[in-house]
Amino acid sequence: MGNYEYIISSLPYLTADYKYAQGQGFADVLAEIRRDLGEKDLEALQFLLDGFDEKKLDANFYAAALGRKEPFLREYFRFDLNLRNAKVRYLNRELGREQELDVLSGMGSEEDQGLDIDGYRFRGGEFEEAAKVEAVLAGGDLLEREKGLDDIVWEKADNLALFHSFDLTAVLSYVAKLHIVDRWLALEEETGRELFRKLVDEVRGTFKGVDYKEQ
Structure-model confidence comparison of residues 142 and 78, the more confident one: 78
Type of residue found at 28: D
Helices and strands, number each (H, E), in the chain:
9, 0
Note the pTM of the prediction, 2 decimals: 0.79
- Confidence at 214, pLDDT banded by 50, 70, 90: very low
Mean pLDDT of the chain: 79
Indicate the pLDDT class of residue 215, thresholds 50, 70 and 90. Answer: very low
pLDDT digits (tens, 9 = 90+) for 156-180: 999 999 888 789 999 999 999 989 8
CA distances from 204 to 55, 61, 190 (A): 9, 13, 26
Residue 102 burial class via C-beta count within 10 angstroms: exposed 0-12, middle 13-18, buried 19 and up: middle
Domain ranges of the chain: 4-202
Each residue's pLDDT tens digit, 13-47: 777 667 777 767 889 889 989 998 999 999 999 99
